[in-house]
Amino acid sequence: MSFLFLLYSTLHTFFFSLPQENPKPNIVLILADDLGWSDIGCYGSEVETPNLDWLAQRGVRFTQMYNTSKCNPSRAALLTGLYAHQVGYEATYQQPLKNATTLGEIMKSAGYLTFWSGKHHGFDHPMDRGFERYYGLKEGASNHFNPGPQRIGEAKPAQKRPDRPFYVDRELFQPYSPPSDYYSTDYFTKYALSWLDEYHNDQRPFFLYLAYTAPHDPLMAWPEDIAKYKGMYDEGYEAIRQRRFEKQKKLGIIPANQPMSEPTFVNWNMLSDSLKKAEAQKMEVYAAMINRMDQKIGEIIHKLKEQGKLENTVFIFLSDNGASAEMVNIPGNGNIGTVGQWTSLGADWANVGNTPNRFFKNYSHEGGIKTPLIISWPKGLPPTNPISQFPAHLIDIMPTLMDLSGANYPDEFQGKPVLPYQGLSLIPATKGHVDTRNKPLFWEWATGRAVRDGDWKLVAFGKNEPWELYNLRSDPYERNNLSIQYPEKVDRLASLFFKWKSEVSQSEPETKVTQ
C-alpha cells in the first residue's frame, strides 16, 4: 500500500468522522422477492403491513415503477444503474458484472458505511464490490427455515439444492446449517440490526441494502403469523381481487373509472373442497410471509428511532418482479408452510397479487414488470403522502442514491472503464417537479420484450408472438390491443426496441486516451 493512498484513506475517514452541519442522509434500500403490485396494504392488500403503510404515509408512493420481470436481471439493474444486458446479466448471473460500478462502490466513495444483508443472486462477492459487511444467500431461492442438511428432530427440509452458498462477511458456508430459530426474514434483519448497533457511534452515514427472499417460494412462515390469516382466503380469487381493486380506488393509486385486466384464474366454485382448502392455505402462508417482512422492517424503523437517526434516513422499498406463477414440484411432507414442504403460489393467486395488472413474473406485461415503490424521508420530503405517476425503473435507483449522497459517478473502476448509468434521479419526482419521462424504457427477459415511450407501450411474450400495442394513459391494464389501428406506432416502437437491443448487447465503455 502506497504512502499517498494510506494518507488519503486516513484523511477520508477522519473527515467523515467529524460532525457535519448538513449531514448526509442514511439510506435503507429494501427489496422484496416476487411481491405482487397489490400485496401490501398501502397498495390495496388485506395483508397487515402497518410499517410499510407508515412509511408510505410519510413518503411518496409510485404507481408506475418498473423492474425487469425476473430476479437476477432486476438485481443487476438495481446495483448498477444499467440495463442487465449491459452488465452481462440478460440471461444468467454466472459471471462477474461487467462495464459497471455498483451502489456499494458509489456510496463508499461518498463516505458511507455500506452493509448488505439478504439475497444476492449474483456472481461477485458483495465485499469485492464496495460493501463492508455482508450476510446472506449468494444464489437463488432456498428453504426459509433450513437451507442446509436435515436437523435432529426436524422434517427433511424441502430444497432445490441443499448446498446453497451463504456468507457471513467472507466466510463461506456451503451447506449452511443455521440455528434452530433460523427464518430467512428474521436473520437477514438480525444481521442488519447488529450492524446498526455495532456502528452506532460512527459519525459516517450508512447505506443498508436489505434484500429479503420473502415472499418467494417455498411458502413457509411461522405458525403464529399464519394463524392471523386463517380463513381469510376461503372466499377465493375473485372476491379478494375485487376487494383489492376497490381499496386501490379509495387509496387513489389507480383511476376510478378503469376496469381491471381480464382475470386468468379459474372459477373458485369449480374447485373441489380439498383443493379450495389447499389454495386458501397457500395464500394464508403467503400473507404471513409478507406480514413477517413488515414486522422486521418495523424493527429497523424502531432501532433508528431509538438511535435518533430516523428523521434523516431515506427508506426505499420495492420488489424485483411481479407475483410469480412459477410452480416448483419437490416431494415433501405435505404440510403447507413448514420446513418439509416446498409450495409455490401459482398462477391463480399471482393474478390476484398483481391486481389490477395483467400477467405475472417473467412477462413484460404490466403484471410482470410493475413493483410498488415507496420512498420515505421524514427530514427531506413533505409529509403529505403524495402519489407519483412518474414512469420509473430500477436503473433510476443508482442516480437517486447519487443525488442523495452527493456521490460522483466514475469513468472507470479498478482501471477499467465503465458505462454511464442509464437512469434518472427520482428525487425531483418525489417532490412533484416532474411527471413525464423524456427517454424510452426497455425490457427483455426470456421471451418477453417491451418498450415504453411516453404513454405508448409495445409488448410481446413468446418467441414468435406478434407485438401488442397499448396506450397506458387510456388503457393502463393492457385490455385493448391497438396494433392493427396504429401500425406506424408499432413500427416506430419496434425500431426503437431493436436499436436498443443492438446497442446494449454490444455496448462497451469507451477507453480514455491519455496524452
Report how many domains make up the chain.
Answer: 1
Grid cell in block for residue 338: 413448514
Count CB atoms within 10 A of the CB of residue 170. Answer: 10
CA separation for the pair 164, 138 (Å, rounded): 8
CATH of residue 408's domain is 3.40.720.10
**Tens of each residue's pLDDT in the chain, 515 residues:** 344 434 444 444 444 444 455 689 999 999 999 999 999 999 999 999 999 999 999 999 999 999 999 999 999 999 999 999 999 998 888 889 999 999 999 999 999 999 999 999 889 999 999 999 999 999 889 999 999 999 999 999 999 988 999 999 999 999 999 999 999 999 999 999 999 999 999 999 999 999 999 999 999 999 999 999 999 999 999 999 999 999 999 999 999 999 999 999 999 999 999 999 999 999 999 999 999 999 999 999 999 999 999 999 999 999 999 999 999 999 899 999 999 999 999 999 999 999 999 999 999 999 999 999 999 999 988 777 799 999 999 999 999 999 999 999 999 888 889 999 999 999 999 998 888 899 999 999 999 999 999 999 999 999 889 999 999 999 999 999 999 999 999 999 999 999 999 999 876 665 443 33
The residues annotated with a catalytic role in the active site are 71, 121
Count CB atoms within 10 A of the CB of residue 399. Answer: 20
In contact, 337 and 345? CB cutoff 8 Å:
no
Helices (H) and strands (E) in the chain — how many of each?
A: 13, 17
CA separation for the pair 482, 491 (Å, rounded): 13
20 found inside a domain: no
141 found inside a domain: yes
Domain that residue 98 falls in: 25-438
41 found inside a domain: yes
pTM (predicted TM-score): 0.94
Residue 364 CA: distances (Å) to CA of 85, 141, 448, 478 = 15, 22, 5, 11
